Structure 1
């Protein structure tokens, strides 16, 4: 019953057999000849940081919304707003940003369990929004529909990840790629035209596997047969992916990533940067159009040496090392999002080569928590950034602050700034899905929030 436990293991076996060509600059140069189109295609990246972004004031141990994150504004919907001490780290992209205020994640008081809701439905039953979008808007390689990059996420053995498969795929929590070098090799291992033809010729390598599975099916019943059927689906999906894989588009410039201890605090900034480069390059090659970057994990323990070499990020979030490292740690996480935006701005879009990749990408920055000291998920940090192919209503080049509590569907004790009515976060995912041309299979209220996108 150990046949193809994971599709990745099987593909690794193919690589060992020589089916996947090694990545070379010559190979990538050939990819650039595959051709380019001029039809804009939306890309979406979810950038998730841990333990909130200090939405509450230094003395608050409940939701008061007067901390270092939310911008200050005199109107509910305005381009006249001022960034706060943490959100100020994104000042370079203020003009193409929409700061959304008034959302609630899960029950609102689940603390570190917020990672189980972060990108999912309120019932925690369905696939996360990144997986759903990846199914709807694939790139040239169907096996890379939704990248999951996890710089320092779960490196301590605690797997609190925010991306999930749906019940039709077993409902499992996805494991991110932690090593950026390995992630690069996995993504770019099978993308040239001549290799695609070779893969088609080598489809027969699956025949013995299919024969074994079908032979076993006749002797099994119940749960065992169901498990085997799932494995068969995996093989068939792999074959389908091979048939549908196309050469990449765009420049597809090769990366020269340095191998460093990717679990080390000493190399934290470098590893984070390498993850940014890998994700941005995959988007720029057209290989994928959807990605999630999860920085660390909720209650993470790996020190951020730029902030403190004695107080870990979790303790910083709890203000246990003082207010200075509390603020600086939240600023560091926000700076990572800014640096990723920089990477997108440097790359050319694969579909409209005269544009930057950022012009056709929507970046969603949020957390699994609002504030790490009260450990609640009310009045969540949420900003949507990037050109998004013109779909994002970000203030016509001035940036925008948008308090959406008037559209709220959840009534719970809120805070003195926004009150007791908030929008369930699953409606934000439903809204993004609509903007991308699809829907979410979530129960409960999935009414889109109006005023965020031009097409919703």
Structure 2
């Protein structure tokens, strides 16, 4: 009984040390991994915008809109960016543009948020949750960060991230997101670090007591764990937790169109900082939600984004709204480029990050999910086959597994196969039914 009490007290002290360490220091694992700091670790971000990216033309011409690059062949580095994809020109050399993808049935309108990051049937966890579980950062509670600038602020919870059959709710306010990830202010962080030093003395005393009192098979079973914990205490004592650069965020009203750009930028900052500190290796940024109604003042003060996508107010705002959404992922890439990688400090964070940019539908006027827009960007630790300095366009229709209406022109690859391919590149797999065979030609380690 005394041994159990001692062990319980020891574990409570150890837990206290973990919670007292600031999340911005990346916790215990930051120190345990110091000897492996030069090992690249892939980070993945899913950046999702609503109501498509105008893959069809303004006059309704299927597949001849503003997104897909104009390419000389199905697999080429010789292509011209389109009116919307041109917003990403600064990162062309790190980009792989994919064409020939379908989500679920290809129809379904605004219900596509149920399927966009999931399996065809919309029954299993989304790919961000799967990857987060398989490749956590140093804080398990944040292993799959979900940021939702303006997503669901009208109390319409059309969110794209799922934990099996349970929909996940993103943090809509970047200041609250920052607080949840990084904890308290820097003064409180310093105070907690000081208190941690005293906790370590108690931990070490309990380790010594347990070693002395256990014997035989019980001692043999625990000795490995006790050695590891003692080493952990030593490491914590010798290391001073590094606090990530604090962010300066203003708490703007998140339901106000006037502050839309500022709120969006705040989310970019928090997600990039979390990745750079090693807190998480997987994140999703969902901008707005399908059929969103909050105006983009840079585009129109009178027409909401949903109506812009439907071409109700003319060609200029239709095009401008799709460009604004795409510009946000460019600005997010800029934010990632500001940071060093947490695992290979000499490298830029973007060098070891894969950014997946897509929507929950292909085009917002006919509301279909055929010929989905998708671009994979970033260094991705050298895994992404994005050409040799000029970017790459890759039509994957030759690997099709779906043909609609017995029309060879409507052959597509299921989106769940893209998620399967990304999972394999990251060292895991998806539990989806149906065809999850990888799409070849995307990653160097997936054939």
Q: Same fold (TM over 0.5)?
A: yes
Matched with 2:173 is 179
Deviations 1:16-45 (A, max 9, x none): x99966979xx8699999557111100000
Partner SS, residue 326 of structure 1: helix
Partner SS, residue 346 of structure 1: coil
Deviations 1:317-349 (A, max 9, x none): 000011100000000000000000000111110
1:76 to 74, 77, 86: 74
Matched with 2:438 is 448
Contact 2:356 2:376 in 1 (8 A): yes
Matched with 2:136 is 138
Question: Is the aligned partner of 1:43 residue 2:43?
Answer: yes
Length, aligned pairs only = 389
Query: Are residues 249 and 154 of structure 1, via their aligned partners in 2, closer, same or farther at CA, if it must alter by over 3 Å?
Result: farther
* 5+ residue gaps, structure 1: 1-16, 203-242
Question: Is the aligned partner of 1:159 residue 2:149?
Answer: no
How far apart, in 1, do the equivalents of 2:405 and 2:426 lie?
A: 33
Query: Are residues 68 and 384 of structure 1, via their aligned partners in 2, closer, same or farther at CA, if it must alter by over 3 Å?
Result: same
- The Cα shift of 1:420 comes to 1.5
Contact 2:26 2:277 in 1 (8 A): no
- The Cα shift of 1:409 comes to 0.1
1:115 to 106, 113, 116: 113
Matched with 1:56 is 56
Question: Is the aligned partner of 1:294 residue 2:292?
Answer: no
Correspondences of 1:27-426 after superposition (within 5 Å): 34=31, 35=34, 37-60=37-60, 64-166=62-164, 171-189=165-183, 252-413=244-405, 419-426=409-416
Deviations 1:48-75 (A, max 9, x none): 0000000001111xx7100000000121
How far apart, in 2, do the equivalents of 1:198 and 1:308 lie?
A: 58
Partner SS, residue 401 of structure 1: strand
How far apart, in 2, do the equivalents of 1:77 and 1:249 lie?
A: 47
- The Cα shift of 1:396 comes to 1.7
Query: Are residues 199 and 386 of structure 1, via their aligned partners in 2, closer, same or farther at CA, if it must alter by over 3 Å?
Result: farther
Deviations 1:381-419 (A, max 9, x none): 00000000000000022100000000000111499xx81
Matched with 1:212 is none
Contact 2:21 2:27 in 1 (8 A): no
How far apart, in 2, do the equivalents of 1:78 and 1:338 lie?
A: 22
How far apart, in 1, do the equivalents of 2:201 and 2:288 lie?
A: 41
Q: TM-score scaled to structure 1, two decimals?
A: 0.80
Contact 2:159 2:168 in 1 (8 A): yes
Partner SS, residue 380 of structure 1: coil
- The Cα shift of 1:197 comes to 8.4
Deviations 1:354-391 (A, max 9, x none): 11110000000000010000100000000000000000
Contact 2:25 2:244 in 1 (8 A): yes
Q: TM-score scaled to structure 2, two decimals?
A: 0.81
How far apart, in 1, do the equivalents of 2:366 and 2:415 lie?
A: 19
Contact 2:21 2:193 in 1 (8 A): no
Contact 1:250 1:350 in 2 (8 A): no
* 5+ residue gaps, structure 2: 1-15, 203-231
- The Cα shift of 1:279 comes to 0.2
